[in-house]
């Protein structure tokens, strides 16, 4: 996808900047920006980006959808666009028309399992589900004797215990016992627990990469403006080298995330190639978030540690996104197991296949 030529991504970028600019959000000190911003986002149709036209969506190609989410990371978008896109994507996969209300996606943790009883009611718990005031529905992958199904559930029907994550965004434990779905349909071949985790991980990798891109930009700008010892701090070699290192982390996260998105577009979610690409992206972006956020803060000194500065909106989000849909150790274990299976002789052919 020739990214700078994508009209959809450019539009998304503009909408984000107009509605949810992080500096304005900080200055408001309340949530009054949220409702109008979300309404405007709904108007653009972006939350349904990955839904085909027959189900009422704009059918944006997968990779453009991922690029939209990277752009959302570049503004540290504090609205559940990624969740809504993922939820609608999963519903649409199973042929369910996504409702007007935004649905978050379940599972988002490696160990969650939701079952269905003979009476059609759900049972089980999910952890680490991204929720928000805008989220009124849940798209739930359900295990059953007839294979995986997708259920659409009303949030108010569930027992939800939400807690703020590092960035102050809600992550919930959700108890589905006894909940009766609004819609229920068989998942298509290949859509299973592992596939949902991979899709979610690829989304978080994009968001992290986007946040890091902006952290680099504001750090470089600050380094050229802040004067110490009579010159801009960006003229000190130690600062330059730190920023160069941040550049390397940004490059790695962008390359890994974009490559994983491209792999999903062409290879789906189940091939060995996609497993390599997606796990590598989630691991590498997670590492980059850690190293990158530390450097960005170091360059900013105390000002970057204040609640009024935008930096934390990027750094804390990037760090918190590491925890969703499997963290670095989870994916390292997945990838490492695959490598142990193919052995030293299979390792290079696996890498070279991409």
Partner 1 sequence: MLELRFDPVRLPPRCNELRHEVREFLAAEVAAGTFDPRDPESGSSTAKEFSKRVGARGWIGMTWPKQYGGQERSFLERYVVTEEMRVANAPTRHFFVADRQSGPTLIRYASEAIKRKILPAIVRGEICFCIGMSEPNSGSDLFAASTKATRVDHGWRINGTKIWTSNAHNSDYMIGLFRTSASTRENRRHGLTSFLVNMKAPGVSCNPIGQMSGQKEFNEVVFDDVIIPDDHTIGEIDGAWKQATSELAYERSGPERFLETYGALSELVDAVGTQPPATVVAGIGRLVAELHTLRRMSVSVAGMLEAGREPVVEAAIVKDVGTVWEQGLPHRARDLAALVAHETGPNVTFDEKLAFYLKIAPKVTIQGGTTEILRGIIARGLGLR
The span from the CA of 269 to the CA of 28, in Å, is: 41
Cβ-based neighbour number of residue 231 at 10 Å: 10
Q: Which two tokens stand for residue 124?
A: 């089980």
- Cβ closest to partner 1, residue 227 vs residue 340: 340
Does 228 contact partner 1 by CB under 8 A?
Answer: no
Interacting span for partner 1 (CB under 8 A) from 110-118, 135-143, 181-189, 235-243: 235-243
Closest distance between partner 1 and the C-beta of residue 78, in Å?
A: 24
Does 111 contact partner 1 by CB under 8 A?
Answer: no
Interacting span for partner 1 (CB under 8 A) from 7-15, 69-77, 103-111, 242-250: 242-250
Among the listed residues 10, 98, 5, the one whose alpha carbon sits nearest the alpha carbon of residue 47: 98
Closest distance between partner 1 and the C-beta of residue 118, in Å?
A: 37
DSSP label at residue 108: -
- Cβ closest to partner 1, residue 182 vs residue 350: 350
Closest distance between partner 1 and the C-beta of residue 341, in Å?
A: 7
Q: What is the CA radius of gyration of the chain?
A: 20
Among the listed residues 137, 1, 113, 122, the one whose alpha carbon sits nearest the alpha carbon of residue 65: 1
- Cβ closest to partner 1, residue 122 vs residue 278: 278
Stated length of the chain: 354
Interacting span for partner 1 (CB under 8 A) from 115-123, 195-203, 256-264, 305-313: 256-264
Closest distance between partner 1 and the C-beta of residue 271, in Å?
A: 14
Residue listed under structure tokens 């990469």: 209
DSSP alpha helix (H) spans, the chain: 7-19, 22-28, 34-44, 62-74, 81-93, 193-225, 237-267, 272-300, 311-321, 328-352
Any idea of the CA torsion for 204, 110, 260, 19, to the nearest 10 degrees?
Answer: -20
Q: Which of 111, 159, 231, 245 binds partner 1 (CB under 8 A)?
A: 245
- Cβ closest to partner 1, residue 282 vs residue 312: 282
The span from the CA of 346 to the CA of 342, in Å, is: 5
Closest distance between partner 1 and the C-beta of residue 105, in Å?
A: 24
- Cβ closest to partner 1, residue 160 vs residue 270: 270
User: Under a CB-based contact definition with an 8 Å cutoff, are residues 87 and 103 in contact?
Assistant: yes
Does 227 contact partner 1 by CB under 8 A?
Answer: no
HSE (CB half, 13 Å, CA atoms) of 125?
9
Does 318 contact partner 1 by CB under 8 A?
Answer: no
- Where do contacts with partner 1 occur on this chain (CB under 8 A)? 3, 213, 216-217, 220-221, 223-224, 234-235, 237, 239-241, 243-245, 247-248, 250-252, 254-256, 258-259, 261-263, 276-277, 279-281, 283-284, 287, 328-329, 331-337, 339-341, 343-344, 347-348, 351-352, 354
């Amino acid at each position: 996808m020739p990214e700078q030529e994508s009209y959809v991504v450019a539009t998304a970028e503009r909408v984000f900047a107009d509605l949810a600019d992080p500096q304005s959000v900080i200055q408001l000190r309340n949530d009054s920006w949220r409702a109008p911003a979300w309404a405007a986002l709904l108007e653009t149709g972006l939350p349904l980006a990955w839904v085909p036209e027959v189900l009422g969506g704009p059918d944006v190609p997968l990779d453009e959808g991922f690029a939209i989410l990277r752009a959302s990371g570049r503004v540290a978008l504090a609205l559940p666009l990624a969740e809504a896109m993922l939820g609608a994507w999963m519903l649409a996969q199973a042929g369910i028309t996504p409702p007007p209300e935004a649905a978050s996606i379940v599972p988002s943790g490696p160990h969650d399992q939701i079952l269905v009883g003979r009476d059609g009611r759900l049972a089980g718990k999910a952890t680490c589900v991204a929720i928000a005031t805008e989220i009124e529905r849940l798209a739930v992958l359900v295990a059953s004797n007839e294979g995986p199904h997708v259920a659409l559930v009303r949030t108010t029907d569930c027992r939800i215990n939400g807690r703020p994550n590092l960035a102050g965004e809600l992550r919930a434990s959700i108890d589905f016992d006894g909940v009766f779905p609004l819609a229920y349909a068989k998942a298509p071949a290949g859509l299973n627990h592992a596939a949902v985790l991979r899709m979610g991980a690829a989304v978080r990798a994009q968001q992290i990469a986007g946040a890091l891109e902006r952290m680099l930009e504001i750090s470089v700008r600050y380094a050229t403006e802040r004067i110490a010892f009579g010159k801009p701090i960006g003229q000190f070699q130690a600062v330059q080298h730190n920023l160069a290192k941040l550049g390397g982390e940004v490059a790695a996260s962008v390359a890994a995330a974009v490559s994983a998105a491209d792999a999903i577009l062409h290879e789906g979610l189940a091939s060995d190639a996609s497993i390599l690409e997606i796990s590598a992206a989630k691991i590498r972006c997670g590492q980059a978030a850690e190293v990158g956020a530390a450097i960005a803060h170091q360059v900013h000194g105390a000002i970057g540690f204040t609640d009024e500065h935008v930096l934390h909106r990027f750094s804390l989000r990037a760090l918190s996104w590491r925890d969703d849909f499997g963290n670095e150790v989870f994916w390292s274990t997945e990838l490492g197991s695959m490598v142990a299976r193919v052995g030293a002789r299979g390792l290079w052919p696996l890498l070279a296949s991409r």
